[in-house]
Amino acid sequence: MEHLLLVNIRLTVLGPDDAFGRFPEVAAQADARIAAHLGLAKRALLLKRVACAHRASPFTGIFVSREDSVEAAADIAAHLGVAWNSQAAVQRMQNKWLTRQTLSKAGLRQPAYRLCASEDDLLRLLDSQAGAWIVKPLVGTGSRGISRATTAHDVAPAVAHVRTVQPTGSFLVEGSLEPAREYSVEGVWVGGRPHVLAVTAKETTGPPRFVELGHTLPVTLGDELDAEVRTTVMRGLALLGAAHGLFHVEVFVDRDGVVFGEAHRRAGGDRITQLLQLAGVDLHGLALDGSYRPVPASMAELERVAAVRYFRFPPGTLRHLAGVDALAQEPDVVFCQVDVHPGESHRSRCCTPSAATAALSSPAPLTRRQLRAPIGCAIWSR
């Protein structure tokens, strides 16, 4: 909103009524708002209301920051004749099976991949091809529903876990790329071409669930590998067909090179947007600029180092919190939030972004010992 006020363009905010209630400041600063559900069930009503507003004051661009809004945005763009990503391009990026098919057919290196619909399917795959396989829903984010299966004992838990996200239908199974290093690539499309703004080193819990624990940017890859990562991402995105807004791509690097992982038509989660802001790049601002004029006014370079970490804790009942107040008082901490409280029981082995978050800005990276706490997340930069 601050960026839009600076560039002085008319903004119409679209969303359900309860969203305006949760974000009253955004609703108040918008020039107009359209209350409508973005789900497919009420898509016709949504398009009718947007078309009515478009006739009164024509829209010239669309900006989307959430994964669950991209399908609606594609339909709106097609209905109004406004330049944005097609529904086909959105589906190729959201559906991991379509992503794999599109990229592998074009010769871009991909992991082995299969569709399974049951425990029996997965058992047959493990019997026929030994090794570690990653089980995941066809559509999803944030490591939800993802686990690793290597033996028959892993099959039932893996299928049960994927069904928590995708209750029915075939799910995706991919050959594990371990011990490959994993990176996230953030950027925007400029004039229809992807522009990489940052590559972050990604930390996870590892097998079997691979829950994200942190990111560091920028990462030092060396000129040759950095160029290969960027080239792979740009080629993959071109093949998938999107050309507007933000992108977040996950890549793997092993001894054979770079593998294009998953792609999303939005900024990365786990507070990567805030990391970029600490490092001197306004990711959303650049994407907004590109939504209403051909080329953003400027493409900022990273000025600082930034990182985020989520700290793990064992399952059970939380009895006592120690270290959080001290963390919040660190001179480099710019944001700290804890949403779990003593007396609450948790099954998860790591906190989620909504459970505990802190942001730091520092002339030098703080050590893991300095930031250690039973529950917490920290972002720092220098």
pLDDT digits (tens, 9 = 90+) for 179-211: 899 999 999 998 888 889 999 988 888 887 787
353 falls in which pLDDT band (50, 70, 90)? Answer: very low
Is pLDDT of 294 > 80?
Answer: no
Lowest mean pLDDT segment, chosen from 119-133, 199-213, 325-339 = 325-339
Query: Is the per-residue pLDDT at 38 higher than 70?
Result: yes
| Better pLDDT: 241 or 329 | 241
- Phi-psi sector, 280: left (phi>0), alpha (psi -120 to 50), beta: left
Percent of the chain whose pLDDT exceeds 90:
45
The pLDDT of residue 357 is 39
Residue-level pLDDT at 31: 87
pLDDT at 237: 96
For residue 355, is pLDDT > 80?
no
- The stretch 103-113 carries a mean pLDDT of 96
- Chain mean pLDDT for the chain: 83
Q: Supply the pLDDT for residue 351.
A: 39
Phi, psi (degrees; rounded to nearest 5) at 133: -125, 140
Q: What share of the chain has pLDDT > 70, as a percent?
A: 85
* Measured distance CA(74)–CA(83) in Å, rounded: 9
Among 202, 209, 337, 219, residue whose Cα is nearest residue 270? 202
The predicted model scores a pTM of 0.84
> Which of 88, 66, 85 lies closest to 76, judged by CA?
85
- Helix axes of 87-94 and 223-240: crossing angle, nearest 10 degrees: 130
CA torsion sign, 255 to 261 to 267 to 273? negative
Q: Which of 241-250, 274-283, 305-314 has the highest mean pLDDT?
A: 241-250
Q: The tokens 């099976």 sit on which residue?
A: 97
